[in-house]
Chain A
Amino acid sequence: MSSVKEYKCPNCNAPLEFNPPTQNWKCHYCAGEFTIDQVDTVYNDEASEEDMQELDSYKCSSCGAELIADATTSATFCLYCKSPTIIKTRFSGKFKPKSVIPFRLTKEEAKEIYRKWITKKLFAPKQFKLKEEVDKVTGIYAPFWLFDCKAAGVIIGEGTKVLKWRDGEYRYTQTNYYQVTRRGAAYYKRIPVDASKKLSDHYMLLAEPYYYSDLKDFSMKYMSGFMAERYDVESNNAEFTMKVRVQSYLEERLRSTINGYNSFSVRERNVDVSNIEASYAMLPIYLLINRFKGKDHVFIINGQTGKVVGDTPISHLRQFVFALVAFVVVWIICVFGGALFV
């Protein structure tokens, strides 16, 4: 059994790629398009439940060239023949995802989003606005842990109600202090936590939310035509990140039930997270990393919703020119406009 997987067009044997607008598989050579059932009749083998031995190297099943891939890369393209290639061992056993949200956005749409976004960034250096740069946008299935859990907790704090009135020459201020206690619980479903060290947790959080109505059982065929990473953050490490988030969710939720006070400050809080269940999922992102003066600047589009996050490199020259122009323009307005009124 081969350790790499390629999906080929049943008609012409050219590579078959997942096509986001139709949610079908498309051959770019003969333009044939196939539904999930049609693909399944040809390719019925799925990622193995058994752990498979990692190999030292993988070869492209189209041209036989060696695949250049990071240790966590699980779906890629052959550097030589550009065939989409899936490394089966990296989707097997404990690395077999339970679910996937397939891409909704095409690469062309993602590029257009990036182009619009970067042109609005006044301070981005010019080289990041060029077409070659835009072409580097890559569709990646990013590994996530989806957590289900229960949170139960309490917040205790001090609330004040202030009354003010006048009597004769005096103004009275009465402050009433209350001890406010809220205890409650809630269930949370599928809280996503970034499971890849390569991707910034912060930006992955900003790229949320994903809508789980698109969530499908995992199948390797969705990976065809995209890059994919496997997780390198274990679920118990991710759990820690998740707990912090859930604790703040429940706290905020309990806080939102407190009203009628002029001020409120939390004195004591305690949230317990239990019934934790993690499942491994692949969620779609479009990624572009701009390297500028030795620093990486990440640009991410949510591959399902199109939400854009990221930061651009900042050109200090552009900043300075902008500040100068702004100064001069406002100065002219102040002097020549102001002279009309003073």
Chain B
Amino acid sequence: MFKKLSFLMLVFLLIFNFAVFTAYASNPINVVDDMGFLSDSDIQELQGRIDKIKEQFRLDVVIVITNKMNGKSSMDYADDYYDYNGYGIDSQYSGLLMLINMKDREVWISTTGRAIDIFTDGRISDMTGRIASYLSNANYKRACHVFLDDVINYSNKGVPSSQYREERLPDFYQQNPTYLQRVSRLVKSWPVYIIPLIISIVATIIITRSSKGRVTIDNRTYEEPGSFVLTQNTDKFIRETTTASKIQTDSYDGRSGRNSSYNRSSTHRSSSGRTHGGGGRNF
């Protein structure tokens, strides 16, 4: 009896476990449109495609269109929306979220778990580039489908061979700080002290020394015109030396140049403590 009971308990626990697993694995609403840009049938169509992606690649895909940013940056909003609304598949909460931020007119893709490795900075930059061109023309439905096309395309390709992670702010925030942020960053950097110091010292020295005056006579000033005669003018060859040096060709470095940042997955921590990747651009 007791044995039977414990067996039932085990079965029950297993079922419960599975239920919990599948429950946190899927928030079933993957398309959120606060702006009403998409019709109900559009949303259904997109949801249908996303469900297939979730099944096929085990990646959660979320599309959020909103203008209520609550004072957050696109990156923070996208990360938090993903983290606090129960998205993500598997123990790493793998998946990605595309935020169309109508307030700042930014598109942001936030990646989590395995998606961080698949969607490198370069791929995200390519994706947001394509998407932004449709968003600029207010073609929101097409933008969402392009996004899903890219998700499928890159998921099929998988993780690039030379992909690596690096903890740093995404390029979008590195390249587009506000004017005041750039000023304060410069104030803290050393070249803005060294350069003026050198210039001021050099200028002071030049002005200090400039006071003397210059010699304006040369070897011809006092020469009697026509009196110079050259009586010997010989150039005798003595010897020659020849050296040969091998021309150094720069060997291609897979991690140098465009490739290094292309295959980099920049990561950062969101407010929930999870690690995200991502990137975006204005449209």
> Which residues on A are within 8 Å of B, measured CB to CB?
121-124, 154, 158-159, 166, 169-191, 203, 205-209, 248-250, 252-254, 256-257, 307-312, 314, 319, 322-324, 326-331, 334-336, 338-340, 342
Contact = CB atoms under 8 A, between A and B. Distances in A.
Nearest to A203: B213
Given A170-B245, A175-B240, A253-B223, A339 B217 contact: no
Interface of B: 179, 182-183, 185-187, 191-193, 195-197, 199-201, 203-204, 207-208, 211-224, 227-247
Contacts of B227: 185-187
B219 A311 contact: no
Contacts of B207: 122-123, 322
Nearest to B237: A178
A336 B184 CA distance: 10
A179 B200 CA distance: 46
A322 B219 CA distance: 38
Contact of B186 (A178, A191, A335): A335
A180 B242 contact: no
A101 B193 CA distance: 55
Contact of A334 (B195, B213, B219, B244): B195
B211 to A, nearest CB: 5
Contact of A331 (B192, B213, B229, B234): B192
A314 B215 contact: no
Contact of A338 (B192, B211, B222, B224): B192
Contacts of B186: 334-335, 338-339, 342
Contacts of B203: 322-323, 326
Nearest to B209: A311
Nearest to B239: A177
A257 B230 contact: yes
Given A184-B229, A185-B231, A311-B211, A249 B241 contact: no
B212 to A, nearest CB: 5
A322 B183 CA distance: 25
Given A331-B192, A339-B179, A342-B186, A190 B232 contact: no
Contact of A248 (B219, B228, B245): B219
Given A173-B242, A322-B207, A339-B182, A250 B216 contact: no
B232 A310 contact: no
Contacts of B216: 208-209, 307
Contact of B247 (A158, A171, A203, A340): A171
Contacts of A331: 192-193, 196
B228 A185 contact: yes
